[in-house]
Amino acid sequence: MSRDSAQVLSLTQDALDNIDDPTVSLSAVLRKAIRVARMRNDYEDLARLGLEMDFRSTGVDTVPLEYSPHFSKNEWKELVLQIVDAYIVERSLGSKKDNVFSGSVDDLEYRIQLLASERDTAKAPDGLTPIDLYMRDRDYAKVRGELSVTLIDLNAILQRIRQRVFSYLSKVEAQLLLGQYNSDIFERNRSYVDAELAKVCPSALEMFSSAYRRMNEEGAEARSQALTSCRRILKEIADNFYPSPSEKIVGMDGKLRKLNDSQFVARLWQFSFEKLRGSASGDLLKAAVESIGNRVDALNALSSKGVHDKVTQEEAEQCIIQTYLVAGDLLRLAQGDSGLQQAALESTKGLTE
Protein backbone atom coordinates (compact mmCIF):
# COMPACT_ATOMS: atom_id res chain seq x y z
CA MET A 1 0.00 0.00 0.00
CA SER A 2 1.39 3.42 -0.99
CA ARG A 3 1.88 6.19 1.55
CA ASP A 4 -1.09 8.13 0.10
CA SER A 5 -3.35 5.07 0.37
CA ALA A 6 -2.19 4.44 3.93
CA GLN A 7 -2.94 8.06 4.84
CA VAL A 8 -6.46 7.88 3.39
CA LEU A 9 -7.10 4.55 5.12
CA SER A 10 -5.92 5.96 8.45
CA LEU A 11 -8.19 9.01 8.09
CA THR A 12 -11.12 6.79 7.07
CA GLN A 13 -10.71 4.46 10.03
CA ASP A 14 -10.28 7.40 12.38
CA ALA A 15 -13.59 8.84 11.14
CA LEU A 16 -15.28 5.43 11.53
CA ASP A 17 -14.02 5.22 15.12
CA ASN A 18 -15.42 8.71 15.78
CA ILE A 19 -18.85 8.24 14.24
CA ASP A 20 -20.39 6.49 17.26
CA ASP A 21 -18.38 8.42 19.85
CA PRO A 22 -20.85 10.71 21.69
CA THR A 23 -18.04 13.17 22.45
CA VAL A 24 -17.35 13.74 18.72
CA SER A 25 -19.84 15.77 16.69
CA LEU A 26 -21.14 14.45 13.38
CA SER A 27 -19.99 17.67 11.71
CA ALA A 28 -16.39 16.82 12.74
CA VAL A 29 -16.76 13.33 11.26
CA LEU A 30 -18.32 14.81 8.14
CA ARG A 31 -15.33 17.09 7.59
CA LYS A 32 -13.05 14.04 7.71
CA ALA A 33 -15.31 12.21 5.25
CA ILE A 34 -15.09 15.19 2.88
CA ARG A 35 -11.29 15.09 3.12
CA VAL A 36 -11.35 11.37 2.30
CA ALA A 37 -13.63 11.93 -0.69
CA ARG A 38 -11.47 14.76 -2.00
CA MET A 39 -8.24 12.76 -1.61
CA ARG A 40 -9.83 9.93 -3.62
CA ASN A 41 -11.33 12.27 -6.24
CA ASP A 42 -14.74 10.86 -5.29
CA TYR A 43 -16.76 13.71 -6.75
CA GLU A 44 -20.18 12.06 -6.60
CA ASP A 45 -19.96 11.65 -2.84
CA LEU A 46 -18.22 15.01 -2.48
CA ALA A 47 -21.30 16.63 -4.02
CA ARG A 48 -23.53 14.75 -1.55
CA LEU A 49 -21.35 15.38 1.49
CA GLY A 50 -20.67 19.00 0.55
CA LEU A 51 -24.39 19.74 0.64
CA GLU A 52 -24.35 18.96 4.38
CA MET A 53 -21.86 21.75 5.09
CA ASP A 54 -22.17 25.49 4.58
CA PHE A 55 -19.38 26.50 2.17
CA ARG A 56 -20.98 29.70 0.89
CA SER A 57 -18.75 32.62 1.83
CA THR A 58 -19.84 34.82 -1.11
CA GLY A 59 -22.94 35.32 -3.19
CA VAL A 60 -21.74 32.66 -5.66
CA ASP A 61 -22.24 29.02 -4.73
CA THR A 62 -18.87 27.49 -5.66
CA VAL A 63 -19.71 23.94 -4.56
CA PRO A 64 -21.26 22.75 -7.86
CA LEU A 65 -18.55 24.60 -9.79
CA GLU A 66 -15.92 22.45 -8.10
CA TYR A 67 -17.53 19.07 -8.79
CA SER A 68 -19.55 19.52 -11.99
CA PRO A 69 -16.61 19.68 -14.48
CA HIS A 70 -16.06 15.94 -13.95
CA PHE A 71 -19.49 15.07 -15.37
CA SER A 72 -21.30 15.46 -18.66
CA LYS A 73 -24.37 17.70 -18.72
CA ASN A 74 -26.81 14.79 -18.43
CA GLU A 75 -24.73 13.06 -15.75
CA TRP A 76 -24.69 16.26 -13.70
CA LYS A 77 -28.42 16.85 -14.08
CA GLU A 78 -29.19 13.27 -13.05
CA LEU A 79 -26.82 13.47 -10.08
CA VAL A 80 -28.36 16.74 -8.87
CA LEU A 81 -31.87 15.24 -9.10
CA GLN A 82 -30.77 12.17 -7.14
CA ILE A 83 -29.09 14.30 -4.48
CA VAL A 84 -32.05 16.67 -4.11
CA ASP A 85 -34.59 13.82 -3.90
CA ALA A 86 -32.50 12.02 -1.27
CA TYR A 87 -31.92 15.30 0.59
CA ILE A 88 -35.67 15.97 0.88
CA VAL A 89 -36.38 12.46 2.15
CA GLU A 90 -33.45 12.53 4.57
CA ARG A 91 -34.18 16.04 5.89
CA SER A 92 -37.98 15.75 6.20
CA LEU A 93 -39.41 16.61 9.62
CA GLY A 94 -41.71 13.78 10.58
CA SER A 95 -43.74 12.35 7.70
CA LYS A 96 -44.25 15.69 5.92
CA LYS A 97 -41.97 16.06 2.90
CA ASP A 98 -43.00 19.71 2.52
CA ASN A 99 -41.35 20.51 5.87
CA VAL A 100 -37.59 20.11 5.44
CA PHE A 101 -34.70 21.17 7.67
CA SER A 102 -32.31 22.86 5.23
CA GLY A 103 -29.47 23.98 7.49
CA SER A 104 -25.97 22.52 7.64
CA VAL A 105 -25.10 19.68 10.01
CA ASP A 106 -23.41 22.27 12.24
CA ASP A 107 -26.73 24.17 12.33
CA LEU A 108 -28.65 20.96 13.02
CA GLU A 109 -26.44 19.98 15.96
CA TYR A 110 -26.63 23.50 17.41
CA ARG A 111 -30.42 23.51 17.02
CA ILE A 112 -30.73 20.17 18.83
CA GLN A 113 -28.54 21.40 21.68
CA LEU A 114 -30.49 24.67 21.97
CA LEU A 115 -33.94 23.03 21.95
CA ALA A 116 -32.85 20.38 24.47
CA SER A 117 -31.71 23.15 26.80
CA GLU A 118 -35.02 25.01 26.35
CA ARG A 119 -37.00 21.83 27.05
CA ASP A 120 -35.05 21.01 30.20
CA THR A 121 -35.48 24.51 31.61
CA ALA A 122 -39.19 24.83 30.74
CA LYS A 123 -40.37 24.60 34.35
CA ALA A 124 -42.58 26.76 36.54
CA PRO A 125 -40.65 29.05 38.90
CA ASP A 126 -40.70 28.59 42.66
CA GLY A 127 -42.99 30.59 44.96
CA LEU A 128 -46.26 30.25 43.03
CA THR A 129 -49.62 29.58 44.63
CA PRO A 130 -51.01 26.05 44.12
CA ILE A 131 -53.49 27.26 41.49
CA ASP A 132 -50.86 29.30 39.61
CA LEU A 133 -48.40 26.41 39.85
CA TYR A 134 -50.98 24.04 38.36
CA MET A 135 -51.72 26.41 35.46
CA ARG A 136 -48.05 27.15 34.75
CA ASP A 137 -47.10 23.47 35.00
CA ARG A 138 -49.75 22.66 32.43
CA ASP A 139 -48.43 25.35 30.06
CA TYR A 140 -44.81 24.25 30.49
CA ALA A 141 -45.76 20.60 30.00
CA LYS A 142 -47.25 21.53 26.65
CA VAL A 143 -44.07 23.42 25.70
CA ARG A 144 -41.89 20.47 26.75
CA GLY A 145 -44.07 18.11 24.73
CA GLU A 146 -43.82 20.24 21.58
CA LEU A 147 -40.06 20.62 21.99
CA SER A 148 -39.67 16.88 22.53
CA VAL A 149 -41.53 16.11 19.29
CA THR A 150 -39.31 18.54 17.36
CA LEU A 151 -36.20 17.05 18.96
CA ILE A 152 -37.27 13.54 17.95
CA ASP A 153 -37.60 14.71 14.33
CA LEU A 154 -34.26 16.57 14.34
CA ASN A 155 -32.40 13.67 15.95
CA ALA A 156 -33.93 11.33 13.36
CA ILE A 157 -32.51 13.55 10.59
CA LEU A 158 -29.11 13.55 12.28
CA GLN A 159 -29.20 9.76 12.56
CA ARG A 160 -30.08 9.34 8.87
CA ILE A 161 -27.15 11.57 7.88
CA ARG A 162 -24.88 9.67 10.29
CA GLN A 163 -25.88 6.35 8.70
CA ARG A 164 -25.15 7.64 5.19
CA VAL A 165 -21.73 8.96 6.22
CA PHE A 166 -20.99 5.62 7.89
CA SER A 167 -22.02 3.73 4.73
CA TYR A 168 -19.70 5.89 2.62
CA LEU A 169 -16.73 5.54 4.97
CA SER A 170 -17.16 1.78 5.37
CA LYS A 171 -17.34 1.41 1.57
CA VAL A 172 -14.11 3.39 1.18
CA GLU A 173 -12.40 1.34 3.89
CA ALA A 174 -13.31 -1.91 2.11
CA GLN A 175 -12.07 -0.59 -1.25
CA LEU A 176 -8.77 0.60 0.22
CA LEU A 177 -8.17 -2.72 1.99
CA LEU A 178 -8.72 -4.44 -1.38
CA GLY A 179 -6.18 -2.13 -3.02
CA GLN A 180 -8.54 0.29 -4.79
CA TYR A 181 -7.16 3.77 -4.09
CA ASN A 182 -9.15 5.78 -6.63
CA SER A 183 -12.91 6.10 -6.68
CA ASP A 184 -15.14 4.48 -9.29
CA ILE A 185 -15.81 7.86 -10.90
CA PHE A 186 -12.08 8.36 -11.54
CA GLU A 187 -11.87 5.01 -13.32
CA ARG A 188 -14.85 5.97 -15.48
CA ASN A 189 -13.21 9.30 -16.24
CA ARG A 190 -9.96 7.60 -17.24
CA SER A 191 -11.81 5.33 -19.69
CA TYR A 192 -13.59 8.39 -21.12
CA VAL A 193 -10.33 10.33 -21.54
CA ASP A 194 -8.56 7.40 -23.21
CA ALA A 195 -11.42 6.91 -25.67
CA GLU A 196 -11.79 10.61 -26.55
CA LEU A 197 -8.07 11.36 -26.83
CA ALA A 198 -7.72 8.41 -29.20
CA LYS A 199 -10.11 10.29 -31.51
CA VAL A 200 -9.03 13.92 -31.17
CA CYS A 201 -5.47 13.92 -29.80
CA PRO A 202 -3.79 10.48 -30.02
CA SER A 203 -0.36 11.99 -29.30
CA ALA A 204 -1.56 12.99 -25.80
CA LEU A 205 -2.82 9.44 -25.21
CA GLU A 206 0.63 8.11 -26.11
CA MET A 207 2.12 10.53 -23.57
CA PHE A 208 -0.17 9.12 -20.87
CA SER A 209 1.16 5.64 -21.66
CA SER A 210 4.69 6.99 -21.40
CA ALA A 211 3.92 8.68 -18.06
CA TYR A 212 2.53 5.44 -16.59
CA ARG A 213 5.49 3.47 -17.87
CA ARG A 214 7.99 5.93 -16.38
CA MET A 215 6.12 6.08 -13.06
CA ASN A 216 6.40 2.31 -12.65
CA GLU A 217 10.12 2.28 -13.38
CA GLU A 218 12.68 2.48 -10.61
CA GLY A 219 14.55 5.69 -9.90
CA ALA A 220 13.94 9.40 -9.44
CA GLU A 221 14.83 10.20 -13.05
CA ALA A 222 12.03 8.00 -14.38
CA ARG A 223 9.52 9.65 -12.04
CA SER A 224 10.77 13.06 -13.12
CA GLN A 225 10.20 12.10 -16.74
CA ALA A 226 6.66 10.96 -15.84
CA LEU A 227 5.91 14.48 -14.57
CA THR A 228 7.44 15.98 -17.70
CA SER A 229 5.10 13.80 -19.78
CA CYS A 230 2.15 15.21 -17.83
CA ARG A 231 3.27 18.75 -18.63
CA ARG A 232 3.59 17.85 -22.29
CA ILE A 233 0.06 16.42 -22.23
CA LEU A 234 -1.24 19.78 -21.02
CA LYS A 235 0.53 21.58 -23.86
CA GLU A 236 -0.62 19.03 -26.43
CA ILE A 237 -4.24 19.53 -25.34
CA ALA A 238 -3.80 23.31 -25.46
CA ASP A 239 -2.30 23.10 -28.96
CA ASN A 240 -5.21 20.93 -30.07
CA PHE A 241 -8.09 22.88 -28.49
CA TYR A 242 -6.71 26.43 -28.54
CA PRO A 243 -3.68 26.93 -30.84
CA SER A 244 -1.74 30.15 -30.45
CA PRO A 245 -3.89 32.79 -32.22
CA SER A 246 -2.28 35.04 -34.81
CA GLU A 247 -4.09 38.11 -33.47
CA LYS A 248 -4.45 39.52 -29.98
CA ILE A 249 -7.47 38.26 -28.07
CA VAL A 250 -9.70 39.79 -25.39
CA GLY A 251 -9.29 37.94 -22.10
CA MET A 252 -11.69 37.48 -19.21
CA ASP A 253 -10.40 40.75 -17.71
CA GLY A 254 -11.35 42.65 -20.89
CA LYS A 255 -7.73 43.31 -21.86
CA LEU A 256 -6.11 42.59 -25.23
CA ARG A 257 -3.18 40.20 -25.12
CA LYS A 258 -1.06 38.03 -27.40
CA LEU A 259 -0.84 34.33 -26.52
CA ASN A 260 2.22 32.66 -27.98
CA ASP A 261 3.09 28.99 -28.28
CA SER A 262 4.84 28.74 -24.91
CA GLN A 263 1.87 30.24 -23.03
CA PHE A 264 -0.16 27.04 -23.12
CA VAL A 265 -1.50 27.51 -19.59
CA ALA A 266 -2.86 30.97 -20.47
CA ARG A 267 -4.34 29.48 -23.65
CA LEU A 268 -6.20 26.87 -21.58
CA TRP A 269 -7.57 29.64 -19.34
CA GLN A 270 -8.76 31.51 -22.45
CA PHE A 271 -10.22 28.31 -23.90
CA SER A 272 -12.21 27.75 -20.69
CA PHE A 273 -13.41 31.35 -20.68
CA GLU A 274 -14.65 31.20 -24.27
CA LYS A 275 -16.41 27.88 -23.71
CA LEU A 276 -18.15 29.08 -20.53
CA ARG A 277 -19.13 32.66 -21.31
CA GLY A 278 -22.33 31.50 -22.99
CA SER A 279 -23.43 29.84 -19.74
CA ALA A 280 -22.67 32.56 -17.19
CA SER A 281 -21.53 36.13 -16.67
CA GLY A 282 -20.01 38.38 -14.03
CA ASP A 283 -18.79 36.83 -10.79
CA LEU A 284 -20.35 33.50 -11.69
CA LEU A 285 -18.43 33.31 -14.97
CA LYS A 286 -15.21 34.26 -13.17
CA ALA A 287 -15.75 31.54 -10.54
CA ALA A 288 -16.58 28.95 -13.22
CA VAL A 289 -13.46 29.72 -15.25
CA GLU A 290 -11.32 29.71 -12.11
CA SER A 291 -12.65 26.26 -11.16
CA ILE A 292 -10.87 24.94 -14.27
CA GLY A 293 -8.00 27.40 -14.55
CA ASN A 294 -6.79 27.10 -10.96
CA ARG A 295 -6.46 23.34 -11.33
CA VAL A 296 -4.59 23.80 -14.61
CA ASP A 297 -2.20 26.13 -12.75
CA ALA A 298 -1.75 23.65 -9.89
CA LEU A 299 -1.15 20.78 -12.30
CA ASN A 300 1.38 22.81 -14.29
CA ALA A 301 3.23 23.68 -11.07
CA LEU A 302 3.32 20.04 -9.96
CA SER A 303 4.39 18.71 -13.36
CA SER A 304 7.11 21.39 -13.59
CA LYS A 305 8.68 20.03 -10.40
CA GLY A 306 10.18 17.19 -12.41
CA VAL A 307 12.52 19.63 -14.13
CA HIS A 308 14.47 20.66 -11.02
CA ASP A 309 13.45 18.75 -7.88
CA LYS A 310 13.42 15.21 -6.60
CA VAL A 311 10.09 13.53 -7.32
CA THR A 312 8.49 10.97 -5.00
CA GLN A 313 6.40 8.03 -6.16
CA GLU A 314 3.30 9.60 -4.57
CA GLU A 315 3.87 12.89 -6.42
CA ALA A 316 4.22 11.06 -9.73
CA GLU A 317 1.00 9.12 -9.10
CA GLN A 318 -0.93 12.24 -8.09
CA CYS A 319 0.33 14.17 -11.10
CA ILE A 320 -0.95 11.50 -13.50
CA ILE A 321 -4.29 11.29 -11.66
CA GLN A 322 -4.78 15.07 -11.76
CA THR A 323 -3.74 15.19 -15.42
CA TYR A 324 -6.45 12.67 -16.24
CA LEU A 325 -9.04 14.71 -14.33
CA VAL A 326 -8.09 18.01 -15.97
CA ALA A 327 -7.94 16.36 -19.40
CA GLY A 328 -11.47 15.03 -18.87
CA ASP A 329 -12.72 18.47 -17.81
CA LEU A 330 -11.21 20.11 -20.90
CA LEU A 331 -12.52 17.41 -23.25
CA ARG A 332 -16.07 17.91 -21.96
CA LEU A 333 -15.76 21.67 -22.42
CA ALA A 334 -14.48 21.18 -25.96
CA GLN A 335 -17.49 19.00 -26.76
CA GLY A 336 -19.92 21.49 -25.20
CA ASP A 337 -21.03 18.72 -22.85
CA SER A 338 -19.56 19.76 -19.50
CA GLY A 339 -21.47 19.56 -16.25
CA LEU A 340 -19.77 22.87 -15.42
CA GLN A 341 -21.59 24.54 -18.31
CA GLN A 342 -24.85 23.07 -17.00
CA ALA A 343 -24.14 24.07 -13.38
CA ALA A 344 -23.20 27.62 -14.39
CA LEU A 345 -26.37 27.93 -16.49
CA GLU A 346 -28.54 26.64 -13.62
CA SER A 347 -26.85 29.02 -11.17
CA THR A 348 -27.43 31.93 -13.56
CA LYS A 349 -31.14 31.07 -13.76
CA GLY A 350 -31.28 30.81 -9.97
CA LEU A 351 -29.77 34.28 -9.55
CA THR A 352 -32.19 35.88 -12.03
CA GLU A 353 -35.41 34.19 -10.82
Computed on alpha carbons and rounded to an integer, the radius of gyration of the chain in Å comes to 25
Domain boundaries, the chain: 3-54+103-177, 184-352
% of residues, the chain, pLDDT over 90: 59
How does DSSP assign 59-91, residue by residue?
SS--HHHHHGGGS-HHHHHHHHHHHHHHHHHHH
Q: Specify the higher pLDDT residue, 281 or 202.
A: 202
Amino acid 49: pLDDT? 92
Mean pLDDT for 137-156 is 90
| Cα angle 74, 296, 207; round to 5 | 90
Rounded to the nearest angstrom, the gap between the alpha carbon of residue 180 and the centroid of all alpha carbons in its chain is 20
CB 258 within 8 A of CB 287: no
| H helix intervals, the chain | 3-18, 26-39, 43-50, 63-67, 73-91, 105-120, 130-177, 184-200, 202-215, 220-241, 264-276, 282-308, 313-334, 339-352
Mean pLDDT for 116-126 is 85
Amino acid 236: pLDDT? 96
- Max Cα separation, the chain? 93
Q: Could you report the per-residue pLDDT of 200-235, keeping only the tens digit for each?
A: 999 999 999 999 898 888 788 888 999 999 999 999
Phi, psi at residue 128, to the nearest 5°? -85, 155
Amino acid 1: pLDDT? 60
pLDDT band at 351 (very low <50, low <70, confident <90, very high): very low
pLDDT band at 64 (very low <50, low <70, confident <90, very high): confident
Residue among 352, 346, 326, 298 at smallest CA distance from 69? 326
Q: What is the mean pLDDT of the chain?
A: 88
Q: Could you report the per-residue pLDDT of 80-108, keeping only the tens digit for each?
A: 999 989 999 999 987 666 789 989 999 99
Q: Specify the higher pLDDT residue, 236 or 352.
A: 236
Give residue 106's identity as a one-letter amino acid code.
Answer: D
Residue among 107, 95, 105, 88 at smallest CA distance from 149? 95
Q: Is residue 353 over pLDDT 60?
A: no
CB 25 within 8 A of CB 249: no
Q: Is residue 348 over pLDDT 70?
A: no
- CA dist., res. 265 & res. 199, Å (int): 23
Q: Could you report the per-residue pLDDT of 160-170, keeping only the tens digit for each?
A: 999 999 999 99
Lowest-pLDDT range, 50-54, 119-123, 287-291?
50-54
- CA dist., res. 50 & res. 28, Å (int): 13
Amino acid 62: pLDDT? 57
